[in-house]
């Protein structure tokens, strides 16, 4: 953590503190791009396998355990992972927690963006702190991105026909599209620097989805 604090403090000599957070986010997402490409290929493969899975459902309609085994075998044979799309999000968690720690009291919280401290929260704005306009912009961006992500995720998961393919996947199909709106809550409760990371990352994700998944929805 000390190295990151020193590195961040060095970077703000050349860029605004908020710009450093955005740049860090873009570098993290760029590093994860190969995994995003692999996830998109997997999504297209699952869509391609949908007719075969429908046939397996019909064949093993009376034997759910055999159906799940057959679908898993099909995925393994075709080298398709139903959960590959989760990896980019999971691998961002260490960065998220690192930013949360250093801006919550690790020495970087006093840097400001448009007058609002990067270690501050939305509650501080409500108490009369600076940054009302900034948060309005962040919430507007998040709302637009969340709406797009909700619609595209719902269409994507429906077209891939993943419900019932693997244990627990049916519930995931119903819940995952709604998770995009959880970003609104996240932005409201985390330090501003972390909120900026979340907004930048989710916007990147929406752009990725528009480009990489356009042929599979």
Reduced to 3 states (helix: H, G, I; strand: E, B; else coil), residue 184 is: helix
Residue 140 has a pLDDT of 95
- Encoded tokens for 217: 């929805």
Backbone φ and ψ for 181, nearest 5 degrees, come out as: -75, -15
Identify whether the C-beta of residue 209 lies closer than 8 Å to the C-beta of residue 177: no
pLDDT along the chain (217 residues), means of 10: 88 93 96 86 75 84 83 77 71 92 86 92 85 93 90 65 47 60 91 96 90 64
Q: Backbone phi, then psi, for 109, in 5-degree steps?
A: -65, -15
3 lies in a domain? no
Count: domains in the chain: 1
For residue 5, being part of any structural domain is answered with: no
- Domain of 76 in residue numbering reads as 16-212
Asked if the structure places residue 4 within a domain, the reply is no
pLDDT at 217: 45
Q: Are 133 and 114 in contact (CB under 8 A)?
A: yes
């Amino acid at each position: 953590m000390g190295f990151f604090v020193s590195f961040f403090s060095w970077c703000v000599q050349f860029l605004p503190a908020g710009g450093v957070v955005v740049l860090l986010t873009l570098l993290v997402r760029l590093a994860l791009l190969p995994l995003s490409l692999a996830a998109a290929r997997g999504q297209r493969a699952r869509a391609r396998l949908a007719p075969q899975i429908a046939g397996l459902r019909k064949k093993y309609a009376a034997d759910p355990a055999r159906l799940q085994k057959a679908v898993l075998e099909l995925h393994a044979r075709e080298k398709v992972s139903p959960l590959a799309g989760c990896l980019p999000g999971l691998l961002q968690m260490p960065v998220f927690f690192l930013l949360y720690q250093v801006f919550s009291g690790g020495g970087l919280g006093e840097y400001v963006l448009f007058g609002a401290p990067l270690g501050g929260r939305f509650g501080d704005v409500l108490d009369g702190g600076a940054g009302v306009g900034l948060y309005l912009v962040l919430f507007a961006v998040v709302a637009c991105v969340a709406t797009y992500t909700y619609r595209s995720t719902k269409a994507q998961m429906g077209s891939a026909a993943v419900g019932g393919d693997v244990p627990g996947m049916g519930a995931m199909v119903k819940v995952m599209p709604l998770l995009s709106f959880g970003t609104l809550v996240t932005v409201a409760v985390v330090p501003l620097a972390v909120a900026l990371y979340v907004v930048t990352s989710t916007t990147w994700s929406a752009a990725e989805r528009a480009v990489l998944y356009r042929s599979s929805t």
